[in-house]
Structure formats: structure tokens, C-alpha cells
């Protein structure tokens, strides 16, 4: 059976990768078990695996602006260490990346071959990670760009919106940023398809398809909860001052899936509906004392 190491397995995405890839022999590695910024222990720890999935990342987008060195250490140097190790042990690396590698100025979906132009330190560090792993292990590295992730664990936009909806009469949510809400369980399923197809290299946009705004997503979550969606009010990005700029357009294309003979990812609305039934709905319930 294929042995897979999931690095960054204690995070929101990592936990669903471990649970969702149950057709394989999976071993989870949190930061306490495996520090990817320390290259000395990687070869021994990973030598028995044929696939390494790197979900470890510095994801605090605003903090990255003032913690550049740490962001690059985790998002660029760490992946480089993993790719070098994978080349030595003969393993395929799946490197999780982000829509933030693009500048957000497009009006049509970004193709897998679109020229990156990150506008934040976080985006710059993730792009540096992409380039590092491809330089170290080009024949056995898959880049997976994802965006607007949500899942059963950790912090996410749906969880925050639903919990705020329990206590606040109105929520002001931006309606000028477009993207693709992506369920972490679907990311695991997409990775499983790539593994099953024996694909070992390439860039894949690993998001649910379609597009929406944060405001429209929040309104849909209110509707699923049975709440009055008019409580979600439209606002613009200018009303929220943040250290790191957010892409106004984070819609990614999925041509590479079709080119490789695989189905394109399903619509975000369908994924959200299933996620709601699979436990996302609990965030709309008051916390028990």
C-alpha cells in the first residue's frame, strides 16, 4: 500500500487530509514531530514514504508583513528542504500553495500557467516555496494552489461568520473580493484523484469551481442556518484597513485537470451544501456551557 506522510497534519487542512486519504497508509506529522525548517532530520523521518504532502505553512497573512523571516523560513525554506529530501528518497512531493501568488487584478480565471505577481509577504513567501520545490525536485513535485479554505477544524470564514451571527444583529461583509470557497474535504479528494492517476508533477488549481464574494458567501451561510440574510450588509475593502493587501480577484481556472484526463473540481455551492450536512452546521448553534 502507498505510504503517505502528511506534514502540517495538525492544522485545518492537514487534519482533513489525514481523515480523507484513508485508502492509503497515512502518517501525520505536526510541527512537534517534524520541523521542516530543520533539514537534518527529514531524510531519516521520511525515508519510508513514497508521497509527502506538505500542508505546513505560515498562514497569518497580516502577521507575515512584520514577520517576513519566519514566513519565508516556513513557506519557502521548509518546502525546499522537503523537496530536496523527496528527491533523495525518491518520493513525490505535494506542495500546498495559494491564490495569493497572483495580484488579483484579473477579470477572468487565472490559468495554471498565469504569471504570478504576489502583492503581500505571505504571497511572496508561498511563491518562493513553489519555485524552490520545482528547482529541487521538478520531476516529482505537484503544486496545489488553493484558496478560501474552510473545514471542520480551526479558524475559517464560515465558522467566524456563523458564530458572529449568533450574537450580532448585523454583519458588514465585503462585496468587492471574488474567490472560490473550498472545502478541505474536497482538497483531500482531489489529491486522492491525482494519486490514483499516478500523476507526479505539474501545477493544479485545487479549489472548488465557480466564483462568489465574501458577502454572497456569508448570505448563503445565513440562509443555510435559517437566518434572515438581510442581516448581512454589503461593504467594501476600503472599510477594512489591514497590513496585507487582499486580492480582489482570486478565481482560479482548472484546465490542467481536464488536460490530464481528470474531472474538474465541483462547484463551491455543492461542496458547501455537503459540508453543511457533514458538520459545518454546528457552528450556527450556541456553544454549550
Whether 100 is catalytic: no
Place of cell 490530464: 260
Query: CA triplet 273, 60, 157: central angle to 5 degrees?
Result: 20
> Using CA atoms, how far apart are residues 186 and 273, in angstroms rounded to an integer?
12
> Using CA atoms, how far apart are residues 243 and 229, in angstroms rounded to an integer?
30
Distance of CA 229 to the CA centre of its chain: 27
Residue 38: which region, alpha, beta or left (left: phi > 0; alpha: psi -120 to 50)?
A: beta
Q: Which of 49, 110, 122, 150 is catalytic?
A: 122
> Using CA atoms, how far apart are residues 287 and 289, in angstroms rounded to an integer?
6
* Burial category of 160 from C-beta neighbours within 10 Å (exposed 0-12, middle 13-18, buried 19 and up): middle
- Enumerate the active-site residues: 122
Amino acid at each position: 500500500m502507498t505510504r503517505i506522510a502528511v506534514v502540517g497534519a495538525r492544522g485545518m487542512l492537514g487534519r482533513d487530509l489525514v481523515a480523507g486519504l484513508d485508502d492509503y497508509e497515512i502518517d501525520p506529522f505536526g510541527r512537534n514531530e517534524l520541523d521542516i525548517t530543520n533539514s537534518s532530520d527529514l531524510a531519516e523521518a521520511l525515508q519510508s514514504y513514497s508521497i509527502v504532502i506538505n500542508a505546513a505553512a505560515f498562514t497569518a497573512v497580516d502577521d507575515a508583513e512584520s514577520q517576513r523571516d519566519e514566513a519565508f523560513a516556513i513557506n519557502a525554506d521548509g518546502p525546499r528542504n522537503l523537496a530536496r529530501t523527496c528527491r533523495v528518497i525518491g518520493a513525490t512531493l505535494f506542495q500546498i500553495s495559494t491564490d495569493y501568488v497572483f495580484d488579483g487584478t484579473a477579470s477572468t480565471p487565472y490559468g495554471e500557467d498565469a504569471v504570478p505577481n504576489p502583492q503581500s509577504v505571505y504571497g511572496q513567501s508561498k511563491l518562493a516555496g513553489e519555485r524552490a520545490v520545482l528547482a529541487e525536485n521538478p520531476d516529482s513535485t505537484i503544486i496545489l494552489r488553493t484558496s478560501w479554505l474552510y473545514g471542520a477544524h480551526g479558524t475559517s470564514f464560515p465558522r467566524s461568520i456563523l458564530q458572529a451571527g449568533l450574537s450580532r444583529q448585523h454583519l458588514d461583509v465585503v462585496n468587492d473580493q471574488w474567490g472560490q470557497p473550498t472545502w478541505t474535504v474536497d482538497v483531500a479528494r482531489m489529491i486522492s484523484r491525482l494519486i490514483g492517476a499516478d500523476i507526479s508533477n505539474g501545477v493544479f488549481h485545487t479549489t472548488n469551481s465557480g466564483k462568489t464574494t465574501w458577502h454572497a458567501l456569508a448570505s448563503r451561510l445565513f440562509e443555510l442556518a435559517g437566518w434572515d440574510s438581510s442581516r448581512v450588509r454589503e461593504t467594501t475593502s476600503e472599510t477594512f484597513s489591514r497590513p496585507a493587501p487582499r486580492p480582489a480577484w482570486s478565481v482560479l481556472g482548472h484546465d490542467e485537470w481536464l488536460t490530464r484526463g481528470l474531472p474538474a473540481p465541483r462547484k463551491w455551492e455543492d461542496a458547501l451544501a455537503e459540508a453543511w450536512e457533514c458538520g459545518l452546521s454546528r457552528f450556527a448553534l450556541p456553544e454549550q456551557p
